[in-house]
């Protein structure tokens, strides 16, 4: 890190380029747009072309932490997920997770880039490269997923039911870019299958008006304390990952959702994709996870609710249940189903999620 007019900037960058991300343009985007911007800004680049799934994970797990100021990924949300999990597996995980991560959007799902750079320029690689040069470390909540005794971390979303099917069952249509998600959505509305799960939530807030009000107040507060991000980046402390608060057999004050469910989307955002603002009242560091639960109503109602998804208006669809929570738990009621975490396929098996406030770090302008 070096200081430029009182602002901390990153100089030594580790860049992962996934040549197969999205429609396979990662390499070209990096060479034509991103690399020139980063070099012009005086950055030192270590470029790693990923050759397989898990490559970036293994690389950052053993990273020499004091040699890298930030990590960039040229791919989609999946590679970000992998990098964060690699950092969490580092021998010094808390220091590792303080290294800021920043996306160059070149995958089919680029939710993080949309949230950091904005809906207008979120898919623009030059804007994303500038974010790496000019962005400051920003803390974000991470969610730990405990499944079969294994713990992993999610930075954006977990989905089940229709929303997971539309992503995971359309992998063969990668050539479509993110249009495959629209195709998947239409297909899901036609088949209209309930998600075969039991969902329990440790609810903090379930009143949408209160959530919208709180969001407004928090944004006002943030705007009046703009210096925060740069200051906290200089604090470095080692230690173990935060321990889990909620045991799998703790059932006190957990709300069990009884109605049949079309989909569950949990996480933070607000965006999970270009045309889907899944979490319009989320903040990256409010210490809570947002959970949207769409009951299996009628196709007509779902179509009208979904048509407001781009702007977040579907939040107000009366039948959409929306919670702010500390934790939640899913038990499959069938062996067949999809679980997508940050756009990656996970086993359709019982899991529990819990929030860790401000555990991760991204770059944001
Ligand atoms: P997309 O949005 O196109 O799926 P992501 O970044 O979300 O892009 O996902 C990329 C996935 O591909 C990750 O799971 C990552 O581990 C994996 N991956 C990275 N490099 C390669 C490679 N060379 N070949 C195959 N898979 C790879
Ligand atoms: Mg993906």
Q: How does pLDDT run across 38-50, given as a tens digit for each residue?
A: 999 999 999 999 9
Mean local confidence (pLDDT), 254-281: 95
The answer to whether residue 245 is domain-embedded is no
What's the pLDDT score for residue 232?
A: 53
Residue 233 has pLDDT above 60, yes or no: no
- For strand 70-75 and strand 44-49, is the pairing parallel, antiparallel, or unpaired? unpaired
Tell whether ipTM is more than 0.90: yes
| Whether the predicted pLDDT of 229 surpasses 80 | no
Average pLDDT, the chain: 92
At 273, which CATH number? 2.60.200.40
- Relative to beta strand 261-267, strand 289-295 is antiparallel
> What confidence score (pLDDT) does residue 26 get?
94
Structure-model confidence comparison of residues 170 and 174, the more confident one: 170
Measured distance CA(2)–CA(41) in Å, rounded: 12
| pLDDT value, residue 202 | 97
**Angstrom distance (rounded) from CA 134 to CA 152:** 30
**Greater confidence, 356 or 236?**
356
Burial of 191 from C-beta contacts in 10 A (0-12 / 13-18 / 19+): exposed
Rounded CA-CA distance 168/195 in Å is 14
Q: Residue 283 falls within a domain, yes or no?
A: yes
Query: What pLDDT was estimated at residue 3?
Result: 72
Residue ending a domain, choose from 111, 142, 173:
142
Residues 346 and 322 in one domain: yes
What is the arithmetic mean of pLDDT over 57-73? Answer: 97
Is the dihedral angle over the CA atoms 146, 151, 152, 156 positive or is it negative? positive
> How much distance in Å is there from the Cα of 343 to the middle of ligand 2?
4
Report the residue count for the chain: 365
Contact 356, 143 (CB under 8 A): yes
- Whichever domain contains 52, its CATH number is 3.40.50.10330
Cα of 171 from ligand 2 centre, angstroms:
9
Of 48, 53, 77, the one to substitute when testing ligand 1's pocket (max ligand atoms within 8 A of C-beta) is: 53
Q: Looking at the structure, do residues 125 and 182 belong to the same domain, yes or no? A: no
pLDDT, tens only, 177-219: 888 888 999 999 999 999 999 999 999 999 999 999 999 999 8
pLDDT tens for each residue of 292-324:
999 999 999 999 888 889 999 999 999 999 999
CB 22 within 8 A of CB 177: yes
Domain of residue 215 covers 150-226+251-358
Ligand 1, atom 21, lies closest to the CA of: 52
pLDDT for residue 231: 46
Model confidence at 223, in pLDDT bands (50, 70, 90)?
A: confident
Residues 160 and 296 in one domain: yes
> Is residue 235's pLDDT more than 70?
no
Question: Does ligand 1 come within 6 angstroms of the Cβ of 50?
Answer: yes
Ligand 1 binding pocket includes 352 (Cβ within 6 Å): no
Q: So what's the pLDDT on residue 10? A: 73
pLDDT value of residue 59? 98
Considering only residues 196 and 2, tell me which one the structure prediction assigns the higher pLDDT.
Answer: 196
Among 23-32, 55-64, 347-356, which stretch is predicted with the lowest mean pLDDT? Answer: 23-32
CA nearest neighbour of 118 among 274, 282, 289, 341 = 274
Residue written as token pair 């800021």: 100
Q: Which of 142, 160, 185 is the last residue of a domain?
A: 142
Q: Do residues 102 and 162 both lie within one domain?
A: no
Q: How many domains does the chain have?
A: 2
Which range in 75-89, 113-127, 239-253 is most confidently predicted, on average pLDDT? 75-89
pLDDT at 234 over 90: no
- Which residues belong to the active site? 77
Please give the number of the atom of ligand 1 that sits closest to the Cα of 82.
16
Determine whether the shortest distance from the Cβ of 76 to ligand 1 is under 6 A: yes
């Amino acid at each position: 890190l070096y200081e430029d007019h009182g602002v901390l900037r990153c100089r030594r960058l580790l860049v992962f380029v996934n040549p197969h991300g999205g429609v396979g343009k990662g390499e070209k985007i990096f060479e034509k747009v991103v690399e020139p911007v980063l070099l012009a800004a005086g950055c030192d680049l270590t470029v790693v072309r990923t050759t397989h799934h898990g490559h970036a994970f293994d690389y950052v797990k053993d990273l020499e932490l004091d040699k890298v100021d930030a990590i960039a990924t040229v791919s989609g949300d999946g590679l970000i997920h992998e990098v964060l999990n690699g950092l969490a597996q580092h021998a010094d995980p808390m220091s590792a997770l303080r290294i800021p991560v920043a996306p160059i959007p070149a995958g089919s799902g680029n939710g993080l880039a949309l949230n950091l750079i904005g809906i207008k320029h979120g898919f623009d690689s030059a804007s994303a490269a500038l974010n790496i040069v000019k962005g400051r470390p920003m803390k974000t909540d991470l969610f730990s997923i405990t499944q079969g005794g294994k713990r992993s971390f999610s930075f954006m979303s977990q989905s089940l039911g229709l929303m997971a099917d539309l992503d995971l069952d359309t992998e063969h249509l990668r050539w479509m870019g993110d249009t495959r998600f629209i195709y998947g959505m239409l297909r899901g509305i036609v088949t209209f299958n309930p998600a075969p799960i039991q969902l329990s939530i440790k609810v903090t807030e379930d009143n949408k008006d209160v959530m919208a009000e709180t969001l407004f107040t928090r944004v006002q507060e943030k705007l009046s304390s703009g210096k925060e991000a740069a200051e906290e980046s200089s604090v470095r402390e080692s230690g173990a990952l935060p321990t889990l608060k909620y045991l799998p057999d703790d059932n006190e004050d957990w709300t069990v959702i009884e109605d049949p469910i079309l989909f569950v989307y949990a996480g933070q955002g607000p965006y999970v994709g270009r045309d889907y603002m899944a979490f319009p009242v989320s903040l990256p560091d409010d210490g809570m996870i947002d959970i949207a639960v769409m009951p299996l109503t009628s196709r007509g109602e779902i179509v009208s609710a979904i048509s407001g998804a781009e702007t977040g208006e579907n939040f107000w669809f009366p039948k959409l249940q929306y919670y702010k929570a500390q934790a939640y738990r899913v038990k499959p009621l069938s062996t067949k189903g999809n679980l997508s975490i940050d756009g990656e396929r996970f086993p359709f098996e019982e899991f529990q999620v819990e929030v860790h406030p401000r555990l991760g770090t991204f770059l944001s302008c």
